[in-house]
């Protein structure tokens, strides 16, 4: 049984998702595609044998669409997800779930009202083998009690459209989900620490350090640096009471030459996390094919709400130059599952 997916948004990541669903994921096909750039959507639809829809709502309502993947601009996510919920269709929404905590909360409330989870949020790191090893080491007791973590998240560069608070809402939002997941704790407060700006990206406040306080008192210091120039570099070390576990970039071949021992740093997130994206899609399709509505262990609407709430708090913290507490509603029973999931 093939899961027929409708894809809303065919920018860079949306196009990648269409190609993966059509060619690299087992058990899926792309049934319908929509983008405001109609020509692009039409060409892509033709390429994979899908319908080119006239609006995103058409995709949601299409009887040939079993599930929806949303890769549109972030400020449209909440409305589109809500429409999927109204239509009773499973939906994988690229991060962020919404651009405000309030909008994300509406999604949570809609799911609670419906009494079942249909929403999955695209925090693909939960499918990266490295991050999964870190999670397994913590859960397996390899480091004792987890107490703190250090994290870096660096991009070689960002497009001109990357401005303002996007390093918090678009880039570090991955860390907000990652460390909630790794520690099995909510983030309860954030502090943004201003750092000397890189002279190579003077229009941004870049790099910066964000402190995350978790519910049990654990702390994460996370560096965001979106113009580090040398490559794409996501690493972390989780420190426990008896040991630590660290994620480094995948080892590549080692070249000895000209006085140096060198390895390649990933050039971008597509190279670093390409496999995680594919495994995320495969797990989603497998879950749907098996009758479930979300994949086990994936980020759900609550996770998406929590992550954007933290991002919003971090933005406020930057403005206030002060530690700021995250305000979450009480977690509904629908989202309460086993500890350390």
Distance CA 55, CA 51 (A): 11
317 contacts 191 by C-beta, under 8 angstroms: yes
Which tokens sit at 238?
């989780």
Q: How far is the CB of 70 from a copy of itself (least distance, A)?
A: 23
> Count of CB atoms within 10 A of residue 133's CB?
13
| CA 35 and chain centroid, separation | 21
* Residue span 150-179 as binding mask against a copy of itself, x where in contact by CB under 8 A, dash where not: x-x---------------------------
Question: Which CB contacts under 8 angstroms, 24+ apart, belong to 23-28?
Answer: 23/48, 24/278, 25/278, 25/281, 25/282, 25/285, 26/282, 26/285, 27/1, 27/2, 27/3, 27/285, 27/286, 27/289, 28/2, 28/3, 28/4, 28/281, 28/285
Residue number, 82 or 143, with CB nearest to a copy of itself = 143
| Least distance CB 14 / a copy of itself (angstroms) | 20
Interface with a copy of itself includes 257 (CB under 8 A)? yes
Q: Contact region for a copy of itself (CB under 8 A) — 52-60, 73-81, 192-200, 301-309?
A: 192-200
When asked if residue 243 is in the footprint of a copy of itself (CB under 8 A), the reply is yes
Count of C-beta atoms within a 10 Å radius of residue 333: 8
Of 51-59, 93-101, 143-151, 331-339, which part binds a copy of itself (CB under 8 A)?
143-151
Q: How far apart are CA 21 and CA 207, in angstroms?
A: 35
**242 is a site residue for a copy of itself (CB under 8 A):** yes
Nearest-angstrom CA–CA distance, 79 and 62: 17
Considering only 31, 218, 294, 314, the residue that binds a copy of itself (CB under 8 A) is 218
- Residues in 112-131 at the binding interface with a copy of itself, rule: CB under 8 A: 130
Q: How far is the CB of 340 from a copy of itself (least distance, A)?
A: 16
Spatial CA neighbour of 50 closest among 75, 28, 81, 72? 28
For residue 291, state whether it binds a copy of itself (rule: CB under 8 A). no
Instruction: Select 169 or 227, whichever has its Cβ closest to a copy of itself.
Output: 227
Q: Residue 285 CB, nearest distance to a copy of itself (Å)?
A: 11
**Residue 64 in contact with a copy of itself, rule: CB under 8 A:** no
- 268 contacts a copy of itself (rule: CB under 8 A): no
245 binds a copy of itself (CB under 8 A): yes
* CA–CA dist 136, 117 (Å, integer): 25
Cβ closest to a copy of itself, residue 116 vs residue 323: 323
Q: How many residues sit close enough to a copy of itself to count as binding (CB under 8 A)? A: 68
- Enter the tokens of residue 86: 């109204």
* List 260, 291, 330, 338, residue binding a copy of itself (CB under 8 A): 260
Closer residue to a copy of itself in complex, CB, 4/89: 4
Show Cβ contacts of residue 285 under 8 Å, excluding neighbours closer than 6 positions: 3, 5, 21, 25, 26, 27, 28
> Which residues are at the interface with a copy of itself (CB under 8 A)?
23-26, 130, 133-134, 137, 142-145, 147-148, 150, 152, 191, 193-200, 207, 209, 211, 214, 216-219, 221, 223, 225, 228-231, 233, 239, 241-265, 267
């Amino acid at each position: 049984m093939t899961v027929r997916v409708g894809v809303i948004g065919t920018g860079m990541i949306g196009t990648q998702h269409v190609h993966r669903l059509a060619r690299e994921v087992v058990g899926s096909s792309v049934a319908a595609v929509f983008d405001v750039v109609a020509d692009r959507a039409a060409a892509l639809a033709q390429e994979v044998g899908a319908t080119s829809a006239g609006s995103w709502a058409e995709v949601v309502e299409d009887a040939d669409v079993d599930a929806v993947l949303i890769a549109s601009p972030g400020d449209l996510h909440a409305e589109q997800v809500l429409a999927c919920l109204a239509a009773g269709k499973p939906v994988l929404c690229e991060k962020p779930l919404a651009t405000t905590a309030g909008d994300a909360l509406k999604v949570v409330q809609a799911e609670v009202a419906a009494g079942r989870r249909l929403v999955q949020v695209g925090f693909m790191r939960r499918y990266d083998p490295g991050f999964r090893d870190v999670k397994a080491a913590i859960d397996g007791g390899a480091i004792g009690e987890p107490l703190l973590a250090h994290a870096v998240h660096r991009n070689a560069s960002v497009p001109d459209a990357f401005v303002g608070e996007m390093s918090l809402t678009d880039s570090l939002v991955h860390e907000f989900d990652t460390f909630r997941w790794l520690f099995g704790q909510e983030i309860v407060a954030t502090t943004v620490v201003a750092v000397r700006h890189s002279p190579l990206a003077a229009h941004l406040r870049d790099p910066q350090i964000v402190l995350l306080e978790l519910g049990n008192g654990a702390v994460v210091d996370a560096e965001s640096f979106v113009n580090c120039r040398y490559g794409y570099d996501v690493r972390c070390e989780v420190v426990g009471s008896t040991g630590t576990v660290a994620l480094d970039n995948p080892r590549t071949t080692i070249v000895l030459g000209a006085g140096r021992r060198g390895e390649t740093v990933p050039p971008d997130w597509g190279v670093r996390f390409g496999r995680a994206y594919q495994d995320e899609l495969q797990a989603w399709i497998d879950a749907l094919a098996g009758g479930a509505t979300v994949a086990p262990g994936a980020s759900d609407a609550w996770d998406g709400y929590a992550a954007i709430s933290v991002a919003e708090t971090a933005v406020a913290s930057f403005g206030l130059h002060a530690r700021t507490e995250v305000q979450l509603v009480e977690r509904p029973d629908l989202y309460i599952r086993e500890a350390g999931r």
